[in-house]
Amino acid sequence: MTYTSTATALRATLLAAALLLAAGRAPVLAAPRHGLQDDWLRLTVTRGDGPSGDPRDTRSVDPRGTLLLCDPPQGHPHAAEACAELGAAGGDIDAIPAKSVLCPMIYAPVTAQARGQWQGRPVDYTRTFSNGCVMAARTGDVFALDT
């Protein structure tokens, strides 16, 4: 008896949904709040020059990455700060004001990459900096992926 009641209720629900769709009135369902409809960026930081293909090349690539969501800020060790900086810069990482810091003149290259969208516009950012200090000075908390 329970199976028949459940199957009947399921059929009735599916029929009602099909009728609403046919009439052009889709039932309004809550959209999942994963943040991907709004402001989000897939951020990666790659340390090192990277292997050249030569087996004797011992330089390493250490990619680190995360998904930064900004509604609400999450997915990043400094999500609130990064979202605030991006918001003030209109989502343009190059427009984040550079911090006045003294960085060592040590060549330890890092490549910062951001792909995603900000206020409906696509973001595709890739820059290589001479070291992590220079990257942090130019990009603020956006690429501060180390906790």
CATH of the domain at 131: 3.30.350.10
Within a domain: residue 35?
no
48 and 113 part of one domain: yes
In this predicted structure, the answer to whether residue 55 has a pLDDT above a threshold of 90 is no
Whether the upstream peptide bond of residue 55 has omega within 30° of 0, thus cis, is: no
> What pLDDT score was predicted for residue 71?
86
Residue ranges making up the domain that contains 6: 1-30
Question: Regarding predicted confidence, which is higher, 61 or 135?
Answer: 135
Q: What are the pLDDT digits (tens) for 71-111?
A: 899 999 999 999 999 999 999 999 999 999 999 999 999 99
pLDDT score for 94 = 96
Q: Name the pLDDT band for 29 (thresholds 50, 70, 90).
A: very low
Domain shared by 73 and 25, yes or no: no
Beta strand ranges found along 22-120 (DSSP E): 40-47, 62-70, 73-74, 110-118
Would you place residue 134 in the very low, low, confident or very high pLDDT band (cuts 50, 70, 90)? Answer: very high
- pLDDT(131) > 90: yes
What pLDDT sits at residue 145?
Answer: 87
CA distance 100 to 20: 59
Q: Are residues 65 and 111 in the same domain?
A: yes
Q: How high is the mean pLDDT of the chain?
A: 77
